Amino acid sequence: MNADANAVIRAEARVALESAARSSLRAPSVFNTQPWKWRVAGDVAELFSDSARRLGATDAEGRLLLLSCGGALHHARIALAAQGWCAEVDRLPDDRRPDLLARIRVTGRGAPDPVAAGLAASVSRRRTDRRAFGERRPSDDTLARLGRLVEAEGARLHEVPDERVPTLAMLVDQAADVEYFDPAYRSELTRWTHRPAWTGDGVPPATAVQNSLRRVPVRNLLPSGSAGLLAGAGDDEGAVYAILYGAGDRPLNLLCGGEAMSALLLGATAEGLATAPISEAVEVAWPRRLLRRLLPDTGEPFLIVRLGYVDSDEVLPVSPRRAAHDAIQVED
């Protein structure tokens, strides 16, 4: 292959990687902090954590930052695979650069991956739905399909039995109390729920839900303000509470856990389910230790996800996203 042909392929790969990085901007993140950056050069894209967007109080150990970045990585991967691009992914490729989380290298073209295409089609439709879910329960077949998506990313999914949901609710509630009485947490919460529109991040009041009695408490994002969404007529009776977990809590485990989180949320969206991540019980160390006892085997809990159906036709508002030029650096 001559030099001109190589240049054309690299240029096409660069365009594909930039498009994939743009898709990743829709990935979920705690408080919608979007704590990642991309560098695209030729046929390689590098994903970095953005320490300026780390939550020092809410996420003191950086666990949720890695989960969030893993979600962005998965969004980018499926965008490439859905378009028929073949790529190699090297996670945590340089011990000397802990902020460099992954390197994606395009290696060629092939047939579009139908599973990736189905997930990629859900990227623009996925929302965190904090409203109450109704009586309809996700089917066992649906949950099994979601479990397989999670396992394909190296993690596991455990449905909390109904009789253990009160224990889960207690852990979430007590973790929320610990955080609420921490002035640093309240300051952080205020910062990320009162963002100027031009920042393209944070949790605007329009996407927060007003307090109501729920099976498992929902984070009060605006303790001194007014949320834009009513909880609705449901009471979460049909909701399934699933714990996403993995083998450990090393950075690689958490990064891959974020990829599994993305697969779960996008897969659930494709199945017509509403989803709401719950992270309070993993943000505080001792509830997280107790959360391990709800797992069927030895493992490290990454996140709780509420899955179900909303008895409403109201379309949720779109959460803001950063401008591409703020998060993606493209080099010739």
**Looking at residue 265, which CATH number applies to its domain?**
3.40.109.10
100, 92, 78, 90: which is closest to 21 by C-alpha?
A: 78
89, 92, 88, 110: which is closest to 100 by C-alpha?
A: 92
| Residue 130 located in a structural domain | no
pLDDT value at residue 7: 59
Distant-in-sequence, close-in-space partners of 228: CB < 8 Å, separation ≥ 6: 204, 205, 206, 207, 208, 317
Residues 304, 185 share a domain:
yes
Residues 146, 292 share a domain:
yes
CATH number of the domain where residue 8 is located: 3.40.109
Residues spanned by the domain of 185? 140-308
| Residue 133 located in a structural domain | no
What are the structure tokens assigned to 222, written together? 């605006």
pLDDT value at residue 307: 98
Burial of 111 (0-12, 13-18, 19+ CB in 10 A): exposed
pLDDT value at residue 4: 45
pLDDT value at residue 226: 83
Q: How many angstroms separate the CA atoms of 281 and 287, rounded? A: 5
Residues 197, 282 share a domain:
yes
pLDDT value at residue 200: 97
Q: How long, in residues, is the chain?
A: 332
Residues 242, 156 share a domain:
yes
| Residue 48 located in a structural domain | yes
Residues 293, 187 share a domain:
yes
Residues 327, 261 share a domain:
no
Angle at CA 187, nearest 5°, toward 276 and 204? 45
| Residue 165 located in a structural domain | yes
Residues 289, 180 share a domain:
yes
| Residue 316 located in a structural domain | no
Residues 260, 147 share a domain:
yes
Torsion of CA 269, 168, 157, 162, to 10 degrees: -80
Total structural domains within the chain? 2
Chunk the chain into consecutive blocks of 10 residues (it has 332) and report each block's average pLDDT, rounded to whole numbers. Answer: 58 95 98 98 97 96 98 98 97 97 96 97 97 96 98 98 98 97 96 95 93 93 86 92 97 98 98 98 97 96 98 89 97 83
Q: How many angstroms separate the CA atoms of 318 and 125, rounded? A: 9
Residue 244: beta bridge partners?
A: 157, 303
Q: How many angstroms separate the CA atoms of 265 and 304, rounded? A: 11
Helices assigned H by DSSP within the chain: 3-24, 63-82, 114-120, 140-152, 165-180, 183-193, 251-270, 280-283, 285-291, 324-327
pLDDT value at residue 233: 82
| Residue 119 located in a structural domain | yes
Residues 301, 158 share a domain:
yes
Residues 294, 170 share a domain:
yes
Residues 224, 161 share a domain:
yes
pLDDT value at residue 2: 53
pLDDT value at residue 80: 98
Q: Kindly report the pTM of this predicted structure.
A: 0.96
Residues 235, 116 share a domain:
no
| Residue 63 located in a structural domain | yes
Q: What is the CB neighbour count within 10 angstroms for residue 198?
A: 7
